[in-house]
Amino acid sequence: MLDLTGVTTALITPFNGDNKVDTRALAGLVEAQLAAGVHGLLACGTTGETPTLTDDEYALVVRTVVEAAGGRAPVLAGTGTNCTRTTIERTRKAGELGADAALVVAPYYNKPQQRGMVRHFSDVAREGGLPVVVYNVPSRTGINIEPRTSITLAAVDGIVAVKEASGSVEAVKTIAEAVATDFTVLSGDDAKSLEFYKVGARGVISVASNVAPGLVVKLWDLWKAGELDGAAALDRSLAPLFEALFVEPNPVPCKAAAMMLGICKDTVRLPLVQASSETRDLMAGVLEKLHLV
């Protein structure tokens, strides 16, 4: 049975100096994540700059992550688009590439009704061939998946989890209290993860774990062990990192940090541009304070 609890890293997609996918760096990142104890890996999410990848590059990234993971942790692939048919096709492709589940973002730009989203996600779950994790991130999509809609989707065969990145503790609490125990509510926001754990979330899909996987896993482990004071203290110490990672659009600061840690180059693809000198200075200070550099 697919287990999505704990820390899943929303992987950056490393690019080399020629702006091509750096598969060696990506495989190395996967290995470092697993060595640090992360429980899952997400390829081609928002953090992976998926909108800028060609179809061939998308396949290359998912295949590289699947092969590097070697069955040691579940691999999710971001497959969501704002076209239901295209999302189904991409979900099928991710399954062919070896992904264990699909992360499907709410359709952006179209701004569908709640009942339209129920149809969208249900069709993907029925026809896509992979377990579906619903992804609610209204700051990027322009549409919020209401808690009642997530609760409805939780009863659909093949929909196994929701990544909740609306920032609403109340939404997480409402969903977690209403769904069956085999449906997983996940935090989509590092800065809110501990708060979300307290009201029923059973893990996080994390950006911060790209650069501090051991600390993000430790936060989960402390919470799981009931060491609430230790979890709260670690959460406070990580707060500057969580904040710094979003002073510019994700994954720009994350890639700046990854370069400082020797993970990969800080290359991002247009329309994103590399981090400003101010962001680099901020990130360097945060990493040093956490003893990561």
**Pair of tokens at residue 11:** 């992987």
What pLDDT is stored for residue 264 in this prediction? 98
Do residues 239 and 187 make contact, with C-beta atoms less than 8 angstroms apart? no
Whether 163 is catalytic is yes
All residues at 6 or more sequence positions from 184 whose CB lies less than 8 Å from its CB, including other chains: 4, 5, 160, 161, 162, 202, 203
Name the catalytic one among 93, 135, 173, 192.
135
pLDDT tens, residue by residue, 132-159? 999 999 999 999 999 999 999 999 999 9
Residues in contact with 28: Cβ distance below 8 Å, sequence separation at least 6, in sequence order:
263
The structure tokens listed for 162 are 């929701």
pLDDT digits (tens, 9 = 90+) for 81-117: 999 999 999 999 999 999 999 999 999 999 999 999 9
Residue 264 lies in a domain: no
Catalytic residue among 58, 93, 108, 163: 163
pLDDT at 1: 82
The burial class, CB within 10 Å (0-12 / 13-18 / 19+), for 85 is exposed
Q: How many CB atoms lie within 10 A of CB 292?
A: 15
Domain that holds residue 148: 6-227
Q: Is 280 part of a structural domain of the chain? A: no
167 Ramachandran zone, left/alpha/beta (phi>0; psi -120 to 50): left
CATH of the domain at 13: 3.20.20.70
Res. 17: pLDDT tops 90: no
Q: Nearest-CA neighbor of 39 among 95, 129, 100, 107?
A: 100
DSSP 188-246: S-GGGHHHHHHTT--EEEESGGGT-HHHHHHHHHHHHTT-HHHHHHHHHHHHHHHHHTT
- Residue 119 counted as domain residue: yes
C-alpha angle with apex 198: 29 to 42, nearest 5 degrees?
A: 20
pTM score, two decimals?
Answer: 0.97
Is 135 considered catalytic here? Answer: yes
Does residue 290 lie within any of the structural domains?
no
The verdict on residue 268 lying in a domain is no
Instruction: Tell me how far apart the alpha carbons of residues 175 and 151 are, in angstroms, rounded to a whole number.
Output: 6
**Confidence check: pLDDT of 234 > 90:** yes
Name the domain count of the chain. 1
φ and ψ at residue 90, rounded to 5 degrees? -70, -35
What average pLDDT does this structure show over 39-67?
98
